[in-house]
A and B are shown apart, each in its own frame.
Chain A
Amino acid sequence: MRHIISILMENEPGALSRVVGLFSQRNFNIETLNVAPTEDPSLSRLTVTTVGDDRVIEQITKHLNKLIDVVKLVDLTEGNHIERELMLVKVKALGAARDEVKRTVDIFRAQIVDVTPSLYTVQITGDASKLDAFLQAMAPVGILEVARTGVSGIARGDKVLSL
């Protein structure tokens, strides 16, 4: 099963490499990874999506927790949560397809953020499956370039991940 693990860690040089290194060292897999400092500049928040059975996920969270730089973590998929990813896509927009792309962008509540005579640059946010669906819809038109941020997430309700 796919899990989204969010980690608060010390914003120290090398901290990220310890997390990434752990995954390769222990043969765990990383689907997406995203990291940035939080409102407290001494802390970074890292979100990783990974796939594994319960035993593997238990090992992943235990080993992450063991890293000295990791302050706290949560497996968001254990409860209700909000999952978001941002994607920028360059698609061909020529002739009849130009309108077709515009309509699809609206349907997905995406935005066109840059335009040239031959292409649109589209920005879209949502969970990973929505982004996948958008790419599928655009495939016949011609996708030129894709940049995805990787999944970020937060728990619903009163629960907070903080110190």
Chain B
Amino acid sequence: MGRQRHTAALDTAGCPADRTRDLQGRNTVELLSGADMIARFLQDEGVEYIYGYPGGAALHIYDALFRQDKVKHILVRHEQAATHAADGYARASGKPGCVLVTSGPGATNAVTGIATAYMDSIPMVVLCGQVMSHLIGDDAFQETDIIGVTRPIVKHSFSIRHPSEIPEVLKKAFYLAATGRPGPVVVDIPKDMTAPTERYEYIYPKKVKMRSYNPVTRGHTGQIKKAVEMMLKAKRPVFYTGGGVVTGKASEGLTDLVKQLGFPITTTLMGIGSYPQSDRQCLGWLGMHGSYESNMAMHHADLIIAIGARFDDRVTNNTSKFCPTAKIIHVDVDPSSVSKTVRADVPIVGPASSVINEMISLVQGQSISQPEALTEWWQKIDGWRAEREGKLYEPSKPGEVLKPQEVVEALCRVTRGEAYVTTDVGQHQMFAAQYYKFDKPNRLITSGGLGTMGFGFPAAMGIKQNFPDDDVVCVTGEGSFQMMMQELSTCKQYGVGVKIVNLNNASLGMVRQWQDLNYKSRHAHSYMESLPDFHMLIEAYGFTAITVNTLDELEPALERAFANKHELVFLDVKVDPFEHVYPMQVPLGAMRDMLLSKTERT
């Protein structure tokens, strides 16, 4: 990479690309400033949207973005929203999201969003301005050691030390973010690295090679064979699949494999949609608020086939009581996830898609050795299903306040189960995941690992801009929505037509539920006496708000909200503040130990 420096006077028309010429006067290499290199690189990398907020250290980059129109910059109203918007886009599209923030407070505001992406393994590249290199370490104005601050919540990070490194470092950043187990990558860019007067050769690096980073491309064939043998012999098998199948783009293969074997499947919250939920073999999702039949099936299984899932504590409950009779096959692209909390009998390190494809080819033409046992297993599962059928919650009686569950069911009907649904965090999140039925991956967009209130609305914004013709709805709570509601202004600026369904229980419902269960209903700060008039608030931004109080208002309001794809509509739906989310696993118990309603327990 040419490190030779070419200085040019800053001309008033901006800084068009300079070029060196050979003797015949033909262009050879392009000379660009660091800032222009960033803009050019993003174009060459195919980045369409970058979410950000300007400030001193990032201004050269902002100027470079201004002088081009291929990469569209979306100005958010808070840097956290930029990261969530990029994250939402990444989850829905499978491509890395991209963020640009300034140094100091700009970068620290982005931290929650970076942590959110990290916990759910979402590919994202965050470009942070930094003070000029000679000032680093001096507590300069708006200086934060953002590499240090984000170290535990990034897949990797880089600091630019010379402008000529920019194309290569950015290429590495995008490559790292998207390959292996994906994750956020932070690039710290001191202001002098982007100075418009210093130009260097720009070449888009087509390839990257890093001697210290070689993600696995396939699993161990012997182990896969062993796993398939166990699968064919199993009497009470269950697939347990997670976000790794979604981010690993392996849903189709998984569906094939599961259908061929005829086994039941349960997914994690992050894995919802990796197998069609309306199919009979799908038991829903598992864990703390998972379905009764999922948790019962896991507990009684003799073989668990875990793919792209990480045995998170919200799934396993007490690991020492976890699935006492099961052997465990664990497929994951990240070796450190395997046997981390629960020991695997057959560990397979490899990407979900290639391992699943190998499994399919091994299963083809084979038949399971104990078909009667599987039939019996299904009878048991169908029994569990039947036990809870129609008893999941008590619908509201005429004239009574709505139940949040029935709102989500109506939303699913009106959008034919095809919308992108983002959520915030709380009871409404669980209800959205339980009662909306997802048949496709990448459709439920939720902060699973970090549980970030405020995630849903900006995430929906990021998705809608990239999928303008699809329905994108954020199911939120009045608590969570208030954490990122300033983004209404962004939606106004760019005409983003997301729908917001506010399950307004006038309380921090999930907190209140725990207080009901564990603190004798002492509702310490979980009741919100001072809610705004959401109707007026939304109208202040020039959008439509509809308040829903009763069941007969519900569907017409939803129909109206979804009538125009390009209009932001906010539904303020008043729901029962005393409702709890069930099932709920009993703390420190096994998977099968659940509260099923306010009065029933397994």
Contact = CB atoms under 8 A, between A and B. Distances in A.
Interface in B171-205: 176
Interface in A42-74: 55, 58-59, 62-63, 65-66, 68-71
B211 A71 contact: yes
Contact of B336 (A21, A25, A62): A62
B159 A17 contact: no
Interface stretch (A6-14, A75-83, A110-118): A6-14
Contacts of B211: 71, 163
Contacts of A62: 335-336
A66 B210 CA distance: 13
Nearest to A66: B336
Given A59-B336, A62-B336, A70 B159 contact: no
A18 interface: yes
Contacts of B157: 14
A55 B148 CA distance: 28
B141 interface: no
A55 B339 CA distance: 8
A113 to B, nearest CB: 36
B302 interface: no
B271 to A, nearest CB: 22
A65 B157 CA distance: 16
Nearest to A15: B212
B73 interface: no
A68 B212 contact: yes
A17 B212 contact: no
B340 interface: yes
Nearest to B337: A62
Nearest to B157: A14
B592 interface: no
Interface in B330-358: 334-336, 339-340, 343
Given A17-B148, A18-B151, A66 B212 contact: no
B335 A65 contact: yes
A53 B343 CA distance: 14
Nearest to B338: A62
Contacts of A70: 212
A25 B343 CA distance: 22
B335 A68 contact: no
Contacts of A71: 211-212
B147 interface: yes
B329 to A, nearest CB: 18
B159 A13 contact: yes
A99 to B, nearest CB: 51
B151 A17 contact: yes
B210 A68 contact: yes
Interface of A: 9-10, 13-14, 17-18, 21, 25, 55, 58-59, 62-63, 65-66, 68-71, 163
11 contacts: A13-B159, A21-B151, A21-B152, A58-B339, A62-B335, A65-B335, A66-B336, A68-B155, A68-B176, A68-B210, A163-B211
User: Top 3 A-B pairs ranked by shortest CB distance?
Assistant: A62-B336, A68-B156, A71-B212
